[in-house]
Structure 1
């Protein structure tokens, strides 16, 4: 940033004419249920347009970690471990909720499975850092992502078509068509398809089924906007996706093979199919008060077959066929933006059902690490969950420049397990029919000071909560029962500034989080041969600094982000299932032994001490148009995949340095655009995630050409 600043200053000294480049466009956020200027909103956030996401190589949630500070996403198959500031989700279990919730067009997306939906025809993406205990409620202890897809436009016929062709025989087609049917009714159609060969080479054995890692995706969207009056607005959207990712190949921790050289004797499949419908109705009364209703229905299924040992010798396999259905309804009543007092009240209800049908969950492995008896374990059942909440926020101008905000949310959640786990070959089974109810109040108190139109200071205390739940049935022991909800208290302060006549925009802030009841999967304290979801009993402390900037100086554009963080787990004695499983281990007192380890003082999982994002582009006027090279650099420092931070067992994930590049040519006065692109251009080989002793590879270098025609 210093070099860029000095370079820009020298260039301005060398050229006598003043910089007449326009100011940056205002960035707005809508996550607090009303539209507000990001630079005057007390929240740490990054906001991207659809074009910015494409320029940065962000095509899904996983790649978002290379575009924004404090973010890590570990893709280990059916679900992502999405964490912001080290808080979110580190265990791939449907029993554990997410801590970073994703909304699409105002509706909370699936929180367990079905995480690989592509980003296409996007209007904006808002990434909020820190607990969102007022508006997003439970499942937002680490933050939230609000994705808004492009809406129909009543003004004119328009759209675009993009063809992308890359290595690994990739073909990606994308487009949209906007049609105003009448003065009050418009329709927008959008689609995205992608085919790509696998990144992987089979060096021993052969898959018994499937093409591990090959991609064949299809997504379609229909949006309808009806606005008969200025007061009434009705927006309906339906998304359908059928994603075939071929499977999730892995290599064992400690393997000397390359990450893309696999050994296998098992089947591979990774198929997601999902449907989402959203109905957003808003009505503005004569006094300016807005009544809004957002209804959502989502239905999906996920099928995964995998070789769970990553070898061509052991016959360890997993077959998971799961379905998920999610209903949600939210009502908002929003005051006008005028006057010293502004308020929002709302209500929310969500009904989430995960189903494992007969034959839908079968894992084949040794009975335990100490008993080499090959068995198949089955699971059949349902996991119903509900959440009901009421919430509100009041903003009051104490003076012309000083504002007080107070928000709160009361949530009540229920979790049920209706399941049977069995080992048919041994004639063993265990049934569970349990229910747990959780209630919590979260919220935020903020004091905001507008120094002038270009400088905004804020400080707040916010709380977040992720509900507890139930451990599933386990054939090797008594079901451990319920685990508690996670709690976060966030103390935060920041300064947002706009400088140089609107050409440079900055954010800088600091936070201190107290994190309690972190949910982890470990060896059961009394029966270590089985696993249980437990809570870290000691307080985890996470604190740090974050800064970001966006600038435009004539032909030069830049954006940057930086986070510095420190984390320490609280005292907690636990058994690492990868080691000796003898004896017990009291979570509070231990005593410490070779297999009962105090993890206190270790870094929080997936909490890097430093992340850096830097993007640069420059517009060159050339014959016939504008040529724009762009480079994006991202650094994520080392992280640990488990609370045990055991490097010998593969817990340490090496730092990642990812460079994306793009060269765009736009002919003068034409609607065509041609782009040459590359992601991970130095082909860095890195472990994207570690789970159950297996390594998951991050994507290698991809490159190609993208041609867009707008109309």
Structure 2
């Protein structure tokens, strides 16, 4: 063996030691961060928590940052419009009375007892009256939009679908909360906050609040007008929830909530549409108006509910008891101008509507299996009771706003239902579901007081009664059903198909100054849809695509306005709708997240003889019958855009000890008809609104500071009109900028 120099031994040992240390250091170095993945989305579209991919319903959700961004500018619930496929929301009352449409299917009726085929369900409680549907959006866990008939498990006028709000629930043994404050254009302030506090081992309290305020930013150029500055508001809401959960087999969640709103009613602007076009008149300034009537809107609402759940071995029993009430009043200058204009105004109209007394009580009992086997089931009972009074007022703007007309009506509505649903796994890959609901609905309506001298209409209550019926009692029993299936092609890909039927109960509008009593019989909707839901690229992307076709028999339509300013309920022989919806989300890179929603809705009224009165001054493009009314066969439904598209893009990058980000969101809808008939002037142009947000997150996401803009291109469009007097319209919100700070603990 060759002799090794002693001097080399320490050198060799040092080299070996260095190599070993390097190898050890390499093996213990932190691994690169894993590629981001989309969180699993859980929904309760079938009244139990499930992965959105496994639910055979066309459903979209909004939550987290996306919801926070949309809500940052102090907007009302209408900010959700167009943010998921096939959803449109509009209002002729401003912040007080939103009207929801899904797949083009909704109701333009502006009366305070109007029913809608799209139901709003807030914390498992239906909000039936249209004023209740405007309760603010804050401290929510999630918004779900369920498209197509939901008449089996939700009931209560859901043939078009359901918009479902779920508040963030109290959490046991955890103190947490957040506060968010923004300030922007027109002195807009928006504060939202919540505190979750355990009260004992089995008790927790969560209190949430929202306070929104905006200065008046529209000037009345008529110095003699009683309301000089407009479009300001103060909107405040609070919700307190108490959770009691002594063990896993029982929980009780108690909820009380209230809202207080005071601000401007919708601003109607006379002759803002160029005759023969649907363009705004030259020089239109959304910051100015000229009216001689008073403008005001106020409402208070409050409610409470108790949601109890018992575990009973292989099944669970749930009880939901709820009470709601609202008091509302809204007054506006309906003609939108003064005797001097702008433009020709045949006569002055100033009116108000209010709900001085309202009561809604609901009770649901639901029993469901929880064995986890191939067969699952639900069964339950439901009761609904509503009783309220409505008031309508007329005023003479030319005589200082003296009251010259009044009507008070009362509506009582009760409904009782029994329902059940089954789910069965035919094979590990194929699940089928079916549901049935039987409902009895009764509605009583009566005009209680009336006077209206002038206009050639009945002047007294006695004359109104002599002219025709002033009361109605409507009763109907109806079954609704659904059948669906989900086929699992792979763990990441599901196919689904669904056929469903739903109905809306009969409606009544009372005899009034310009029209007699009208009744719309119940409508039924039968819908068929099919689609795919998939997680892609190791959950870095998610897609849902579906096609649908529906037929509404005896659809309730409302002929609003016309030269005689009527509000008349009609039944169309049928209406058909068809189209598709696409929901796509995904990481384009580890730092770039995009979402895309697209929908196509083709709706048509199918009734060769159905005709409605038309506008006073617009250019009608429909054929006429012998009485000069427009024949509306083949027309699309009002406020039903063919195309809606939403898009968001978020880019984040590490900066210091936090993350800097850019977020942009856009929503587009194609043109819409404002009325049942088609005209040049009362066709709303397409609308594209975009938002931009630049922000910084730090402290492990607990703190956020941001600059934001809403409607950043300042696109102003006529979004609705009043057709009985002149070319009166109202417009969307202008561009706003602001800053926001949010802190969580």
**Shared fold (TM-score, shorter chain, > 0.5):** yes
Distance of aligned partners of 1:578 and 1:591 in 2 relative to their CA distance in 1, 3 Å threshold = closer
Tell me what 1:347 maps to.
381
Matched, 1:397 2:432: no
Matched, 1:36 2:35: no
Q: Distance in 2 between matches of 1:75 and 1:478?
A: 25
Deviation at 1:247, TM superposition (A): 2.3
> C-alpha deviations, 1:177-219, integer Å up to 9, x for none?
1111111001111111111113423233454147431111111
From 315, 324, 330, give the equivalent of 1:298.
Answer: 324
Matched, 1:541 2:550: no
Equivalence map 1:403-414=2 (5 Å) = 403-414=431-442
Tell me what 1:385 maps to.
413
Q: What SS does structure 1 have at the residue aligned with 2:231?
A: coil
From 361, 364, 369, give the equivalent of 1:330.
Answer: 364
Tell me what 2:265 maps to.
247
Distance of aligned partners of 1:195 and 1:515 in 2 relative to their CA distance in 1, 3 Å threshold = same
Equivalence map 1:278-293=2 (5 Å) = 278-287=305-314, 289-293=315-319
Q: Distance in 1 between matches of 2:494 and 2:515?
A: 57
From 186, 192, 204, give the equivalent of 1:174.
Answer: 192
Deviation at 1:116, TM superposition (A): 2.9
Q: Distance in 1 between matches of 2:449 and 2:678?
A: 31
Deviation at 1:441, TM superposition (A): 0.9
From 257, 263, 276, give the equivalent of 2:290.
Answer: 263
Deviation at 1:22, TM superposition (A): 3.2
Q: What SS does structure 1 have at the residue aligned with 2:654?
A: strand
Tell me what 1:465 maps to.
503
The answer to whether the Cα contact below 8 Å between 2:510 and 2:516 also exists between their aligned partners in 1 is no
Q: What SS does structure 2 have at the residue aligned with 1:252?
A: coil
Deviation at 1:133, TM superposition (A): 1.5
From 452, 460, 463, give the equivalent of 1:428.
Answer: 460
Tell me what 2:16 maps to.
none
> C-alpha deviations, 1:318-358, integer Å up to 9, x for none?
122213221111111011151111001111111112213xx
Q: Distance in 2 between matches of 1:449 and 1:533?
A: 43
Tell me what 1:620 maps to.
653
> C-alpha deviations, 1:490-540, integer Å up to 9, x for none?
010010011100111100000001122222233899x97854211122x22
Deviation at 1:662, TM superposition (A): 0.9
The answer to whether the Cα contact below 8 Å between 1:96 and 1:468 also exists between their aligned partners in 2 is no
Deviation at 1:466, TM superposition (A): 1.1
Distance of aligned partners of 1:428 and 1:410 in 2 relative to their CA distance in 1, 3 Å threshold = same
Tell me what 2:60 maps to.
46
From 80, 102, 125, give the equivalent of 2:143.
Answer: 125
From 335, 338, 356, give the equivalent of 1:309.
Answer: 335
Q: What SS does structure 2 have at the residue aligned with 1:55?
A: helix
Q: Distance in 1 between matches of 2:79 and 2:428?
A: 42
Tell me what 2:549 maps to.
512
The answer to whether the Cα contact below 8 Å between 1:205 and 1:312 also exists between their aligned partners in 2 is no
Deviation at 1:96, TM superposition (A): 3.1
Q: Which runs of 5+ in 1 are unaligned?
A: 1-16, 367-373, 581-589
From 302, 305, 309, give the equivalent of 1:275.
Answer: 302
| Paired positions, count | 670
Matched, 1:67 2:83: yes
Q: Distance in 2 between matches of 1:603 and 1:134?
A: 28
> C-alpha deviations, 1:644-687, integer Å up to 9, x for none?
01123x2x111011111111201244732111111111111022
Tell me what 1:484 maps to.
521
* TM-score, structure 1 normalization: 0.90
Distance of aligned partners of 1:235 and 1:464 in 2 relative to their CA distance in 1, 3 Å threshold = same
Further displaced range: 95-104 or 48-57: 48-57
Q: Distance in 2 between matches of 1:205 and 1:272?
A: 28
Tell me what 2:161 maps to.
143
Q: Distance in 2 between matches of 1:274 and 1:375?
A: 26
Tell me what 1:585 maps to.
none
From 682, 701, 704, give the equivalent of 2:738.
Answer: 704
The answer to whether the Cα contact below 8 Å between 2:232 and 2:264 also exists between their aligned partners in 1 is yes
Q: Distance in 2 between matches of 1:472 and 1:90?
A: 17
Distance of aligned partners of 1:502 and 1:338 in 2 relative to their CA distance in 1, 3 Å threshold = same
> C-alpha deviations, 1:57-87, integer Å up to 9, x for none?
4753211113111111112104222101111
**What root-mean-square deviation, in Å, do the aligned CA atoms of Structure 1 and Structure 2 show?**
2.4
Distance of aligned partners of 1:163 and 1:477 in 2 relative to their CA distance in 1, 3 Å threshold = closer
Q: Distance in 2 between matches of 1:74 and 1:115?
A: 12
Distance of aligned partners of 1:569 and 1:45 in 2 relative to their CA distance in 1, 3 Å threshold = same
Distance of aligned partners of 1:50 and 1:103 in 2 relative to their CA distance in 1, 3 Å threshold = farther
From 555, 563, 574, give the equivalent of 2:599.
Answer: 563
Q: Distance in 2 between matches of 1:273 and 1:116?
A: 11
Q: Distance in 2 between matches of 1:253 and 1:421?
A: 34
> C-alpha deviations, 1:570-605, integer Å up to 9, x for none?
12431324359xxxxxxxxx9823713221111221
Q: Distance in 2 between matches of 1:524 and 1:171?
A: 36
Q: What SS does structure 2 have at the residue aligned with 1:39?
A: helix
Which of the pair has more CA radius of gyration?
2
> C-alpha deviations, 1:445-478, integer Å up to 9, x for none?
1122111111111111111211112231235665
Q: Distance in 1 between matches of 2:240 and 2:67?
A: 22
Deviation at 1:423, TM superposition (A): 2.8
> C-alpha deviations, 1:201-239, integer Å up to 9, x for none?
323345414743111111111110010111110000111
Distance of aligned partners of 1:62 and 1:612 in 2 relative to their CA distance in 1, 3 Å threshold = same
Deviation at 1:695, TM superposition (A): 1.7
From 685, 695, 699, give the equivalent of 1:664.
Answer: 695
* TM-score, structure 2 normalization: 0.86
The answer to whether the Cα contact below 8 Å between 2:436 and 2:481 also exists between their aligned partners in 1 is yes
Q: Distance in 1 between matches of 2:301 and 2:143?
A: 21
The answer to whether the Cα contact below 8 Å between 2:471 and 2:510 also exists between their aligned partners in 1 is no
Q: Distance in 2 between matches of 1:19 and 1:234?
A: 41
Equivalence map 1:102-113=2 (5 Å) = 102-113=120-131
